[in-house]
């Protein structure tokens, strides 16, 4: 009976190793902290940015799990208030995509800058490398507001020495075929373009996470 028991035990271990959960036990965890652009507003299951980024990275051979911490409607301050909860069991790296709702509501750029700075500082205090995704103010708010708001992101990236992707919606913004009817949220096709363009920056983020 013992050889049979050993065989059963061996097969059981092999089966566990093949399960998705087991395969991801040692995966690097990337926190995607953002608003509706991260949460996948208007998209189906598996079509949002975190899911598509994870799939693209895995196709490139990276063992990663991308945690969807996007909440539709969130401002930078709202995301800062829920950061502890969003981190959950922790993360090895973080992508911060916020500010769009601040600009749409015409909030003071200084308050957005302060909240984003607090998020970055909290992540760095946990030794979590950060990739900051920039956002741009809508033109109807005027050039003065736009210049001040747009400058938030490169300024913070330089101050905290973090990775910076200049515009999260690069290649998608203002493209009707790549956005939903509201003209703000990307379609599934738009998300694919965002993922492909941001991947080099995410790979640099993973390099920093591995060197911790």
Q: How far is CA 182 from CA 31, 43, 186, in A?
A: 27, 13, 9
Alpha helices in 41-187 (DSSP H): 49-59, 76-81, 83-87, 100-104, 109-125, 143-150, 152-160
Task: Round to the nearest angstrom and report the end-to-end CA distance of the chain.
Answer: 48
| Catalytic residue flag (residue 182) | yes
| Catalytic residue flag (residue 35) | no
Q: How far is CA 2 from CA 8, 9, 11, 82, in A?
A: 10, 10, 14, 53
Q: How far is CA 171 from CA 1, 42, 71, 179, 208, in A?
A: 64, 19, 23, 11, 26
Catalytic one among 36, 74, 77, 150? 36
Residue 64 tokens, joined: 């990663």
CB count in 10 Å sphere of residue 106: 14
Q: Rounded to whole angstroms, how far apart are CA atoms 86 and 79?
A: 9
Catalytic one among 26, 127, 182, 211? 182
Selection from 43, 34, 21, 64 nearest residue 202 by Cα = 64
Catalytic one among 86, 92, 102, 185? 185
Q: Is there a contact between 162 and 122 (Cβ–Cβ < 8 Å)? A: no
By annotation, the residues acting in catalysis are 36, 182, 185
């Amino acid at each position: 009976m013992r050889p049979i028991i050993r065989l059963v035990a061996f097969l059981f271990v092999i089966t566990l190793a093949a399960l998705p959960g087991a395969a991801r036990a040692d995966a690097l965890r990337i926190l995607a902290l953002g608003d509706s652009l991260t949460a996948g507003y208007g998209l189906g299951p598996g079509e949002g940015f975190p899911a598509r980024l994870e799939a693209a990275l895995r196709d490139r051979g990276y063992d990663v799990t991308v945690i969807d911490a996007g909440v539709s409607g969130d401002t930078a301050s709202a995301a800062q208030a829920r950061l502890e909860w969003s981190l959950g069991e922790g993360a090895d790296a973080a992508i911060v995509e916020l500010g769009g709702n601040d600009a749409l509501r015409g909030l003071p750029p200084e308050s957005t800058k302060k909240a984003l700075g607090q998020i970055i500082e909290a992540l760095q205090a946990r030794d979590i490398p950060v990739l900051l995704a920039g956002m741009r103010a809508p033109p109807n708010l005027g050039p003065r507001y736009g210049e001040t708001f747009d400058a938030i992101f490169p300024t913070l990236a330089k101050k905290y020495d973090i990775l910076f992707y200049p515009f999260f919606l690069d290649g998608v913004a203002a493209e009707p075929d790549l956005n939903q009817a509201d003209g703000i949220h990307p379609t599934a096709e738009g998300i694919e373009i965002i993922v492909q363009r941001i991947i080099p920056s995410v790979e640099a983020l993973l390099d920093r996470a591995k060197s911790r």
